[in-house]
Amino acid sequence: MRLVFAGTPEFAVPSLRVAAARGEVVAVYTQPDRPAGRGRGMAAPPVKREAQRLGFEVRQPQTLRTVEARRALRALRPDLMIVVAYGLLLPPRVLEIPTHGCWNVHASLLPRWRGAAPIQRAIEAGDAETGVCLMQMEQGLDTGPVLLSRTLPIGPDETAGQLHDRLAALGAQVLDDGLALLQSGIRPVPTPQPEAGVTYAHKLEKAEARLDWTQPAEVLARKVRAFHPWPVAEAEVAGDLVRIHAAVALPLAHDAAPGALLHAGRDGIDIACGEGALRIRTLQRAGGRAITAADYVNARRELRPGPQQ
């Protein structure tokens, strides 16, 4: 099979490797290089780096909406286009070019969590499970019929970064299953998505990282997990604005004002919430690195229990 692959971030790399093993990848589309890091130097997307390692032609158009872009894609004579977290919209005329259309690997159990941030939103909402769908792309946003899917439980302490890695591997497996069927002459049966249960995973915004202590501790603990490794939850702790890397909710009854310090020790820093308390286990001061709550308390003598010197 002549395959065109379109993807950009690390999530798409395992699927690119599967495509390379299953067919002839005639081109890899990825987003243009972007400034990154403290020096803001130009950095290649992970998919580009992997494609170059594998020896594939890499294309980085700003858009696929032009006549020239469609003509260039059509010249590749693709049997199938595989799209994994590409980040650019595919116009209807592009979807029609490959013989078998375009397949998308999406990190949710559609129709739940269509959109840009399905992994983070599933954790934030407290979902017990998620998964991956292989979808036949159509004009709508993640509205196409599902060809294959697999389910994955979400661990009680799992962060978005950890779940991302597991779903990336699972997505590659689902894609491999689909390509194997197509190679054997069996086209996966498209199942239309039900109208009930549609939710949208809106793109993460940095402003969401600021925690509101009036919310229940359970909600805040999920946000800490969902926003790790980006944008990382932040809040004021005993007058100090910190980033929170790890925390758990405590079903603690109290009459303290939201945001009040309830306890600071080696086991964690407990902050009063609208309901219960959030125990912070790993945090980061401005300009510093992530440290344990015990190290943080040691650095702030005024937080230590007992008489102060």
DSSP 185: T
Cα-based distances in Å from 99 to 4, 25, 39, 79: 11, 15, 44, 5
Cα(179)–Cα(183) distance, rounded to whole angstroms?
Answer: 6
Q: What is the 3-state secondary structure (H, E, C) of 215-261?
A: CEHHHHHHHHHHCCCCCCEEEEECCEEEEEEEEEEECCCCCCCCCCE
Q: Are 122 and 110 in contact (CB under 8 A)?
A: no
Q: Is 109 annotated as a binding residue?
A: yes
Q: Is 108 annotated as a binding residue?
A: yes
Q: Are 167 and 10 in contact (CB under 8 A)?
A: no
Cα(151)–Cα(126) distance, rounded to whole angstroms?
Answer: 16
Q: Are 61 and 12 in contact (CB under 8 A)?
A: no
**Cβ-proximal residues to 236 (8 Å cutoff; 6+ apart), any chain:** 242, 259
Q: Is 76 annotated as a binding residue?
A: no
Cα(261)–Cα(302) distance, rounded to whole angstroms?
Answer: 12
Cis peptide before 9 (omega within 30 of 0): no
Q: Are 62 and 32 in contact (CB under 8 A)?
A: yes
Q: 61: how many CB neighbours lie within 10 A of its CB?
A: 16
Binding residues for (6S)-5,6,7,8-tetrahydrofolate: 108-111
Binding residues: 108-111
